Amino acid sequence: MPEILAAGGFLSMSEIWTEKYRPRDFSDLYGQEDIVARAEAFVKEKNMPHLMFTGPAGTGKSSLSLIIVKKLYGGDWRSNYLELNASDERGIDIVRQKVKDFARTKSLNSNFKIIFLDEADALTREAQQALRRTMEMFTQTCRFILSCNYSSKIIDPIQSRCAVFRFKQLDKPAIENIVKNIAEKEGLKLEENIIYDLFAASEGDCRRLVNILQASAVISKEITSGLINQITKSSNNEDIKSIIENSLNGNFTKAKEMLLEIMLIQSLQGADIIKSIMKIIPNLSIDDKLKVRLIEKCGETEFRLVEGSDEFIQLEALLASFAIAGYKEKARAQ
């Protein structure tokens, strides 16, 4: 197995980059500057309220909690920190047993311990009610950091007891900083304008971005748009645009053939194709009212796919609705 030399010794090429490049300090977290500044202030004061980190996956919620804990406790952080994933154990027992047992004991070298509850929005309402009571009872010995994708799934009594930090998807400058940092350390050669492709493929998710880069680097040290599309199995925007335009112009049969080719040869799923269509529609040179109708049809089709309908049938029906909308638009213009 080939190895690369790093600052701390030898690192295997098989090392997972999401862990290798996980932020170790507040300054390593990109795209969440306001949140990082507030968290840093809590650490300096050696005190903090219960916290709730909410936002999309891969934006730094877990990493920030680890940074806070390590800065607060130093080398003793493991004895003062409990991490649980609520999606593994959703019921009330996780609160009654693991959380309470850890929360009721006092830290030997600090004022409080920290419990990090990941994917807290997966907890049942009964478990959340029990958690609310636990947060009240053990404020002298414990602080909670709750992480969730959707704060609306957390009951109001818990939200009111926490300082809520709303994480956002990483913007293009943040993605660019991360990519260039990794490329420099791994000796990767970046194609011109590749940042845009990586930004689109990752959708602001840092974890996905790093995984895409590692998967690409295994194949080639030169990161190109074609390689990114190959790794992510993403559709070619020009192909999708051509499908939409053929449908609107009444060439339904050709649009259908192109769709089947993309789904079968490129192994793209229906949901991914609809996402691509949704991104392209706003940039088409068509009337805004027609854009609204097309987007509405996309929403209906996506709902049917989520409910378990056949992908081929639903996407063909979507193209048929585009063709009908195109006919109506032409008739109205005449």
Is the domain of 149 the same as that of 92? yes
The pLDDT, as a whole number, for residue 101 is 84
Is the domain of 66 the same as that of 161? yes
The pLDDT, as a whole number, for residue 235 is 65
DSSP code, position 42: H
Residue 2 located in a structural domain:
no
Is the domain of 241 the same as that of 206? no
Is the domain of 161 the same as that of 202? no
Q: What is the pLDDT along the chain (334 residues), one digit of tens a residue?
A: 343 334 333 344 568 999 999 999 999 999 999 999 999 999 999 899 999 999 999 999 999 999 999 999 988 898 899 998 877 766 677 777 788 888 888 887 888 999 999 999 988 888 899 889 888 888 889 999 999 999 999 999 999 999 999 999 999 999 999 999 999 999 999 988 899 889 988 889 999 999 999 999 999 999 998 888 878 876 677 888 999 999 999 899 999 999 988 888 777 788 889 988 998 999 898 989 999 999 999 999 999 998 888 999 999 999 999 999 988 888 887 7
Is the domain of 162 the same as that of 38? yes
The pLDDT, as a whole number, for residue 14 is 63
Question: Mapping DSSP to helix (H, G, I), strand (E, B) and coil, where does residue 224 land?
Answer: coil
Is the domain of 139 the same as that of 49? yes
| Beta pairing class for 50-54 and 142-148 | parallel
> Tokens representing 31?
């795209």
Is the domain of 241 the same as that of 228? no
The parent domain of residue 277 ranges over 237-333
The whole-model pTM stands at 0.77
Biggest CA pair distance of the chain: 81
Alpha carbon distances (Å) from 69 to 3, 13, 17, 82:
31, 29, 22, 10
How many other C-beta atoms lie within 10 A of the C-beta of residue 193? 8
Residue with tokens 């969440």: 32
Is the domain of 194 the same as that of 246? no
Closest CA to 209 of 169, 244, 237: 169
> Tokens representing 38?
């507030």
Is the domain of 158 the same as that of 246? no
Sign of CA dihedral 126, 128, 131, 135: negative
Closest CA to 221 of 192, 193, 194, 186: 186
The pLDDT, as a whole number, for residue 12 is 44
CATH code of the domain containing 268: 1.20.272.10
